[in-house]
A and B are shown apart, each in its own frame.
Chain A
Amino acid sequence: MSTIVRATGLTKTYGIGGGAVHAVSDASFALEENRIHGLLGRNGAGKTTLMQLLTGQEFATRGTIEVFGERPVENARVLDRVCFIKESQRYPDDFRVRHVLRSAPGFFPEWDADFADELVERFRVPLGRRMKKLSRGQLSAVGVIVGLASRAPLTFFDEPYLGLDAVARQLFYDVLLADYAEHPRTVILSTHLIDEVSNLLEHVLVIDDGRIVIDADADDLRGAAIDVVGARSAVDAFTADREVLHRAGLGGLATATVANLDDAGRKAARDAGLELAPVSLQQLVIRTTVGANAGHTNGENE
């Protein structure tokens, strides 16, 4: 495996002095080629700024970025291989869907027109409608179609699920996986709707308040934490000397999210009469990004 994106000490600050906003702070990470990477985080966490930095649309305040081994800013050799249709992408006022599909192929050497036509039909996007008049879901679908049909070696999908109905979400999921298997490429999928994409992802970057807080393989993450459920006293006793990411309780029952529980630990938990439950990627991200402050879904906080 080779690295396709490498960021070192990447920082983007807007404004100066006390009012400065640190959109991305000292981010260092590497993304491997031909994998599906998730860029997860809350609204305003810095996902879009980070993607703009990686695609040369934004200029870094500090740090370095290498994409395909070179700086992306104003570098045609890099940008020719990149497709980044933003969630909030602006289109010319007079553009209809067909004008987008007419103008895109020139920018992507590996554009597949038949595939684009097929996707337009399957996503039921009205070709003759003005971009301004599209619904949120149709707008997302256009971004998804361009991203998929571009076959760009580095393709960004920015909040692809926004406004898509259940059928279209499933369609995106199926088509991305099928096409990715046939035409391997590097995908960076940014979203705050984590449950929707968790099964797609092979590698996860979680950004919070401009900082990379998780940089791990999805498989490792899925096993990284486990919920231990049972009587409050038993849970407390079991977790006394373990790393707990999050606690919640309701009456005499308690749940603790325990990190890095090995087989012996799992056996000990079962022996103590506790139940083990998997933690979804979404829950893990929530508990990592906001720590103990976010337990409302599980009842009262401790």
Chain B
Amino acid sequence: MTTTALAARPAPIPGPGARVWRIVRLLTANPWTTVWWPVLILTAIFLMTLSIWGLIRLNVPDVGAEGLPGTQYNGGISWIFVYMLVVAVQAINLSFPLALGYGSTRRAFLLGTGLTFTILAAAYALLLTVGSTLEEATRGWGSGGAFFRPFYFATDAGPLAQWWIYFCWLAFFLFTGVYFAAVFVRWRAVGLTLALLLFAAVVIGAVALLTFTGGWGLVGDAIGTLGTVGSASVMLVPGLVAAAIGYGVLRRATPRA
């Protein structure tokens, strides 16, 4: 008896690109969770915010040059970043066992997931940039408000820079999600709890270090120097580190019932 050689079978063999792309198709097979719901919720929050600003304006007859007081700070679009983290964790946790059942390698699954998240970040960043551009053009929707352009995301360096800021932040949250999802898939709830404790310890450690060394001023200076574009770009580093750790963790994970 001889062992069948792979080449002996005439079946078409998908290339590496196809093996990655089909993971993108798998993760977006039902586009509601990853695409339509976030857009709908964003639209709803935006419309509600506009209505509230409208109500306030009815009672504040004189809108100064600074716009309505208090409309420059709101969490209107912040939720979408946190939502991306949840999307990342859910997508990996639930699609990983099916992808392996379909005969994907972990490597192709992770590359496909990374590609999907990059595309999602780019697309949402584009959507937010369109909103931001309109917001600028209409002087804050006529109220001087900042829905898409709160000071920590806004830049005056043009739409491309604005898109980059959104993209970096979205990518940071999505790729951080890869890390937590990988830990959960491999070590379930116990692993996730330990990972969160470790994460908290690192954050507290960093805060303590900065406090004891009086380094907060330096951080403030750095953020000031970097500006919103530079700060967002810096976030890509921890995002990519988290994704790389997640990749290493998931490479040895087994789908469990």
Q: Which of B91-117 contact A (CB under 8 A)?
A: 91, 94-95, 97-98, 100-108
Report if A180 contacts B (CB, 8 A): no
Contacting residues, chain B, for A110 (C-beta < 8 A): 11
Given contacts A68-B6, A79-B105, contact A92 B1 (CB under 8 A): no
- A81 pairs with B9, CB closer than 8 A: yes
Closest CB of chain B to A94's CB: distance in Å? 5
Q: Which of B1-59 contact A (CB under 8 A)?
A: 1-6, 9, 11-14, 16, 18-19, 21-22, 25-26, 29-30, 32-33
Contact with A along B173-204 (1 / 0, CB 8 A): 00000000000000000000000000000000
Query: Which of B2, B19, B252 is in CB contact (< 8 Å) with A76?
Result: B19
- A3 pairs with B252, CB closer than 8 A: no
- A103 pairs with B26, CB closer than 8 A: yes
- B13 pairs with A92, CB closer than 8 A: no
> Bound complex: CA of A4 vs CA of B25, how far in Å?
30
Report if B257 contacts A (CB, 8 A): yes
- B29 pairs with A95, CB closer than 8 A: yes
Query: Which of A56, A70, A76 is in CB contact (< 8 Å) with B108?
Result: A76
Task: Name A74's closest neighbour in chain B (CB-CB).
Answer: B105
Report if B254 contacts A (CB, 8 A): yes
Query: Which of B6, B29, B254 is in CB contact (< 8 Å) with A69?
Result: B6
Task: Name A130's closest neighbour in chain B (CB-CB).
Answer: B30
Among the stretches A82-90, A223-231, A255-263, A288-296, the one at the interface with B is: A82-90
- A95 pairs with B30, CB closer than 8 A: yes
Contacting residues, chain B, for A58 (C-beta < 8 A): 254
Given contacts A76-B108, A80-B14, A103-B26, contact A89 B101 (CB under 8 A): yes
Contacting residues, chain B, for A283 (C-beta < 8 A): none
- B102 pairs with A108, CB closer than 8 A: yes
Contacting residues, chain A, for B29 (C-beta < 8 A): 92, 95, 99-100, 102-103
Task: Name A104's closest neighbour in chain B (CB-CB).
Answer: B102
Given contacts A79-B104, A107-B102, contact A93 B90 (CB under 8 A): yes
Contacting residues, chain A, for B26 (C-beta < 8 A): 103, 106
Q: Which of A102-153 contact B (CB under 8 A)?
A: 102-104, 106-110, 152-153
Report if A33 contacts B (CB, 8 A): yes
Query: Which of B12, B101, B106 is in CB contact (< 8 Å) with A74?
Result: B106
> Bound complex: CA of A17 vs CA of B184, how far in Å?
25
- A57 pairs with B102, CB closer than 8 A: no
Given contacts A2-B3, A59-B254, A103-B25, contact A92 B94 (CB under 8 A): yes
Given contacts A79-B105, A89-B98, A152-B103, contact A3 B1 (CB under 8 A): yes
- B101 pairs with A106, CB closer than 8 A: no
Candidate in A58, A94, A110 with the most chain B CB atoms within 10 angstroms: A94
Contacting residues, chain B, for A68 (C-beta < 8 A): 3-6
Contacting residues, chain B, for A69 (C-beta < 8 A): 3-6
Contacting residues, chain A, for B255 (C-beta < 8 A): 52, 57, 90
Query: Which of B12, B105, B251 is in CB contact (< 8 Å) with A109?
Result: B12
> Bound complex: CA of A62 vs CA of B173, how far in Å?
39
Task: Name A33's closest neighbour in chain B (CB-CB).
Answer: B4
Residues on A close to B: CB < 8 A? 1-4, 6, 30, 32-33, 52, 55-59, 66, 68-70, 74-86, 88-96, 99-100, 102-104, 106-110, 152-153
**A-B CB contact pairs (8 Å), 12 listed:** A3-B4, A4-B3, A58-B254, A76-B108, A85-B101, A88-B257, A92-B30, A92-B98, A94-B30, A94-B32, A95-B29, A107-B102
Nearest 10 A/B pairs, CB to CB: A106-B22, A107-B102, A88-B257, A92-B94, A103-B29, A69-B3, A79-B103, A99-B29, A103-B26, A2-B4
- Other than the given A66-B3, A75-B105, 19 more pairs (CB < 8 A) read A4-B4, A68-B6, A69-B3, A69-B4, A79-B104, A79-B105, A80-B13, A80-B14, A81-B9, A84-B103, A85-B101, A86-B257, A90-B98, A92-B30, A92-B90, A92-B95, A94-B30, A102-B29, A103-B102
